Amino acid sequence: MTMSNQGQDEPRPDTPRPGEPRPDTPRPAEPGPDALTAAVAQLTAELAGLRRDLARRHLLDLASGVLVAQRSLTPADAADHLAQLAETTNVSPEGLAADIVNAAAGQGAPAGHGSPAGDGAASGDIEAAAGTGAAAEAAADEDRSAARRARLVEATAESAAQTGSSVDVIAGTLLDGGMRPLGVRGLWLFRRTETDCLQLAGQAGVSALEAAHWRWVPPGTGSALHRVLAEAAPLWLPAGPPEGERLPGPAPDAARALLPLRQRGVVTGLALVDWPGPTALDEPVRRALTGLAVPAARILDAGVSDPSESGVLVPLLDLLTHPAMVLRADPETGTLHVEHLNRPALDSARHVHGPAGRPLAQLFPAMQADLVRLARVARESAAPQRAARVPVEHRPGDPDPLHDVRVLPVGPGRTVVLWHGATDPGLSLSRVLGRLENLAAFEDDLITGKSRWSDQAYRIFGLDPAAPPVPLRRLAPHLHRDETGNLNELLVELTERREGAHTVVRAVREDGGLRHVRIAAEPLLTGGVLTGITGVYQDVSAQHHTEIALTATFDRLTAAQTQAALRHQLVLQLQQAIVPEVPVLQRLPGLQVAARYRPAAEEYRVGGDWYDVLPLPSGRVLVAVGDIAGHGIDSVTGMVALRNALRGLAFTGHSPARLMAWLNEVTLHTHGRPTATAVCALYDPSDRSLCWASAGHLPLLLLRAGEAGFLEPPRNILLGAVPAADYTETVTPLVPGDTLMLYTDGLVESRRTGIDEGLERLRRAVERLRPGGLDERTDALLASVTGDTDDDTSLVVVRLS
């Protein structure tokens, strides 16, 4: 087809023509990083515009070719005729061109508004339809608009393929331009291999992790994908695939459409389109998707993306809150290309349109040289590389540098770059300390046995900088012999009590000098396990006399505090051993149970709250919650006595009322004569009944079918008030799905309102809980309902399976 000469670029007036002398002007200076960044952004925008213009010209040339063939016009006359017709009918040239091409192809022309190309009257009918557009029916106009949009999307996709874009990029063009208006979420393009295996060639609107799961679909599985290949006919699934059959998509009941892709009459692959949920796939939707399958079939030859290599890496980087990107080296040239950027990194590259897939130099021209060097060293050494800032030198007006850069090798030719948009104070602390002559940082890794010192530490202890750093636990040979005790006490605080501490010691240097060194250190804990020690050495020789006097006073105060802290720590450990904050509960017959304990806000208010969940030999399950009045060690020891007593009494097989009467006598004979409230319940899985008795405790809360209400407790006196007290019990039938909550007063008590208002707040919070797992709902309830008396809280949630 003869191409039109419209739009060809003319030489710029200021550009010398061949043979003309160039103006005698000085050579321009090399652009700075900011100018280079602006140039990259401008060129990128121009490239995007050229791609759009290429798609437009492609469609106009096709329409001009149809007019040349049907009306025997010259290419120039056909282009002029098309422009005049568009102006006369008040339709865009692209829209009119789409109508002409659709009619010539035998598609997209509504009844009465065109005919197939074979009758020789296509262009005349198109012109007639365009000239009577004002009188056309709304449905016909909508069909023509959809056909135009489909043809424009097809032209845009083909132009993207001609400019070397990847299958994923072209699929994104189809999805955003033609399928998003239909409510589509994702597009999957599968290529049919010689062995009838389906290979994922590209996708759009789909995460890399999803794509990795469907990279290959082998034959012989009997899936709907291969049935579409065999039958060569579309498959429409408005409510998802049949039960038991899996297909790519966001949910089992999400709508899907499977379209065979044909080239030259042969099915070469298929396209799978998915929606966020069930969708009615009416006839207009089916026609539109069938039309878009034509360009989808043509782009399968553009290449196959490889989601498996970064399927886990990409979702992981997307979870980070600081910028991260994946770089991949071209196997032939070694040029680094940006393979993926997470959301914070995309914000750093807003000046470039469509940054993924571009060379690194286009996104970060000022940082490119340093990043290339770090990536090369990381790949060659197979070790992460760090840089405080890239580039190192930063002048006013330059683009913002990348701070705290880390480059990690993650495979052949691939590296991950992590950075911060602003300086991280924690990572910069050691560099700040390095500028102070009398301060030095250290860190001991107790897992690997390695230690790190800043340069100033070697000067403080008078050691050769080439010597290995000395771990804190092996520092004694470098100290005065009388300082061993101080060092040991410091190590005990750090490793056994796992608390931050400091001390002053005398360091004996190899040159015979004596230095007074303050050591301040903190333990490093990972998952509750001591993994290291970090801190600083400070040379305080100039003021050591004052420090000695202050230290003597501090030691006397510390001795008293240590004794009080040790006593308090023992109480805390005893309480936490008996009542853990999040216990590990064994599997119970017919029940799901979650229990939580929230300590008092103030450490000195160690309380007597307790709970227990215990399966019994009879098959029943004991569920109990109690609260001893007061705080301190007496309350904790009383709590332990009552909890263990109830555990033992429960094995007698007696009813809750009898267990409460016995527990009352135990309370009367417990040291300190405490008083307590408690509720004791026995659940029988054989008839789903709950037999329970309460001793002055708060009512149980039952959630059934989304409505919450309190169970009226038997009127019994609290434990430890009077001897020989009688207790009554009640039986509550339960049904599957019921959720029962037992709690202590720390959950609902308030200094500003009464207990009734606190109970009502709890009831409303329970009804507002979102559906989910029992542990999640228990944590959500504990977070949303909080008393303000700083008391500790126990909560047990039981749900019938």
- 212 versus 519: which is more confidently predicted? 519
| CB-based burial label for 219 (10 Å; 0-12, 13-18, 19+) | middle
Residues 6+ apart with CB under 8 A from 111: 140
**pLDDT higher at 609 or 791:** 609
- The 10s digit of each residue's pLDDT in 217-247 is 888 767 889 889 888 899 999 999 998 889 9
Q: What pLDDT shows up at residue 121?
A: 39
Q: pLDDT of 427-484, one tens digit each?
A: 556 555 555 557 888 999 998 889 999 888 888 898 988 899 999 999 999 999 999 9
Average pLDDT on 630-654 reads: 86
Q: Are 752 and 789 in contact (CB under 8 A)?
A: no
| Cβ contact 344:322 at 8 Å | yes
For residue range 46-66, list pLDDT tens digits in order. 766 676 677 677 777 777 777
Helix boundaries (H) for 312-365: 313-318, 343-348, 360-363
Query: What is the pLDDT, as a whole number, of residue 679?
Result: 96
Q: How many Cβ atoms are within 10 Å of 150's Cβ, its own excluded? A: 25
pLDDT band with cut points at 50, 70 and 90 for residue 123: very low
Q: Which two tokens stand for residue 229?
A: 């290949």
DSSP track, 230-243:
HHTS-EEETT-SPT
> Any residues with CB less than 8 A from the CB of 604 and at least 6 apart, and which?
568, 631
pLDDT (0 to 100) of residue 574: 59
Q: Residue 699: name the closest of 690, 709, 712 by CA.
A: 712
Note the pLDDT of residue 91: 66
Return the axis-axis angle of helices 122-131 and 93-105, rounded to nearest 10°: 140
> Does residue 658 carry a pLDDT above 90?
yes
Whether 416 and 324 have beta carbons less than 8 Å apart is answered as yes
How far is residue 374's CA from residue 390's CA, in Å, rounded to a whole number?
Answer: 10
pLDDT at 106: 53
Q: Which DSSP state fits 107?
A: -
The 3-class secondary structure across 242-300, one letter per residue, is: CCCCCCCCCCCCCCEEEEEEEECCEEEEEEEEECCCCCCCCHHHHHHHHHHHHHHHHHH
Nearest to 336 by CA among 357, 355, 366, 359: 359
Let me know: does 402 contact 410? Beta carbons within 8 Å: no
One-letter amino acid at 565 equals A
Question: What's the CA gap between 603 and 626, in Å, rounded?
Answer: 20
pLDDT digits (tens, 9 = 90+) for 342-353: 888 888 777 676
User: Interhelix angle for 33-71 vs 75-89, to 10°?
Assistant: 100
* Structure confidence at residue 740 (pLDDT): 96
Non-local (6+) Cβ contacts of 573 within 8 A are none
Query: What six digits make up the tokens of 792?
Result: 């500790």
Q: What pLDDT does residue 728 have?
A: 95
Parallel/antiparallel/unpaired status of strands 451-453 and 501-508: unpaired
The mean predicted confidence, pLDDT, of the chain is 78
Write down the pLDDT at residue 266.
83
pLDDT at 126: 45
With a cut of 60, say whether residue 604 has pLDDT above it: no
Compute the residue count for the chain: 801
pLDDT reading at 799 higher than 90: yes
Backbone φ and ψ for 273, nearest 5 degrees, come out as -115, 130
pLDDT at position 616, please? 92
Torsion of CA 651, 654, 660, 664, to 10 degrees: -70
Contact 654, 672 (CB under 8 A): no
Q: How far apart are CA 436 and CA 538, in angstroms?
A: 10
Helices (H) and strands (E) in the chain, counts: 21, 26
Q: Per-residue confidence at 633, pLDDT binned at 50, 70, 90?
A: confident
Which H or E run includes 170?
helix 167-174
What's the whole-number mean pLDDT along residues 6-17?
42
Q: Output the pLDDT for position 351.
A: 67
Residue 783's alpha-carbon distances to 263, 753, 762, in angstroms, are 59, 19, 12
Three-state secondary structure call for residue 502: strand
Name residue 186's beta-bridge partners.
274
- Judge whether residue 718 has pLDDT over 50: yes
Which range of 24-33, 83-92, 159-168, 440-449 scores highest in mean pLDDT? It is 440-449
Q: Which of 56, 333, 30, 292 is nearest to 184 (CA)?
A: 292
Tokens encoding 336: 């680094």
Whether the predicted pLDDT of 155 surpasses 70: no
Distance CA 625, CA 656 (A): 13
Kindly tell me the burial class for residue 529, based on how many C-beta atoms sit within 10 Å of its own C-beta (0-12, 13-18, 19 or more): exposed
User: 21 pLDDT band (50/70/90 cuts)?
Assistant: very low
CB 264 within 8 A of CB 250: no
> What's the distance, CA 261 to chain centroid?
35
Q: What angle separates helix 93-105 from helix 75-89, to the nearest 10 degrees?
A: 110
Of 220, 224, 234, 221, the residue nearest 262 (C-alpha): 234
Task: Calculate mean pLDDT across residues 495-515.
Answer: 88
pLDDT score at 133: 43
Of the listed ranges 117-131, 161-175, 336-350, the least confidently predicted one is 117-131
Kindly report, residue by residue over 278-323, the tens digit of the pLDDT: 999 999 889 888 888 877 777 776 554 444 455 567 778 888 888 9
Burial (Cβ within 10 Å: 0-12, 13-18, ≥19) of residue 678: buried
pLDDT exceeds cutoff 60 at 134: no
Instruction: Give 10's pLDDT tier (boundaries 50, 70, 90).
Output: very low
Distances in Å between the alpha carbon of 162 and those of 104, 174, 232, 335?
23, 15, 28, 22
CA–CA gap between residue 224 and residue 243 (Å, rounded) = 12
Strands (E), 304-351: 324-329, 336-341
Q: pLDDT tens, 73-111?
A: 677 777 777 777 666 656 677 766 766 766 655 544 333
Lowest mean pLDDT among 246-255, 573-582, 780-789: 573-582
d(CA 722, CA 716): 11
The identity of residue 641, as a single letter, is A
Predicted confidence at residue 9, as pLDDT, reads 41
Rounded to whole angstroms, the Cα distance separating 544 from 517 reads 9
Q: Which of 99-108, 297-306, 398-407, 541-550 has the highest mean pLDDT?
A: 398-407
pLDDT tens string 763-773: 999 999 988 88
Assign 151 to helix, strand or coil: helix
Predicted local distance difference test score (pLDDT) of residue 743: 93
The DSSP symbol for 479 reads B
| This prediction's pTM | 0.36
**Tokens standing for residue 195:** 């062995």
Return d(Cα 763, Cα 698) in angstroms, integer: 13
Quick check: 422 pLDDT over 80? no
Overall average pLDDT of the 542-562 stretch: 62
Over its C-alpha atoms, the chain yields an Rg (Å, rounded) of 38
Q: Between helices 755-767 and 774-784, what is the axis angle to 10°? A: 140
Q: How many CA within 13 A on the CB side of residue 725?
A: 25
Q: What's the one-letter identity of residue 628?
A: I
- Give dist(CA 440, CA 453) in Å, integer: 7
- Residue 302: enclosing H or E segment and its boundaries? none
DSSP code of 790? -
Structure tokens at 47: 């490239």
Per-residue pLDDT, 89 = 59
Q: Among residues of the chain, what percentage have pLDDT more than 70?
A: 72
- The residue ranges of DSSP E strands in 632-688, in sequence order, are 676-684
| CB-facing half-sphere around the CA of 340: CA atoms within 13 A | 22
pLDDT band at 663 (very low <50, low <70, confident <90, very high): very high
Residue 727: name the closest of 642, 659, 647 by CA. Answer: 659
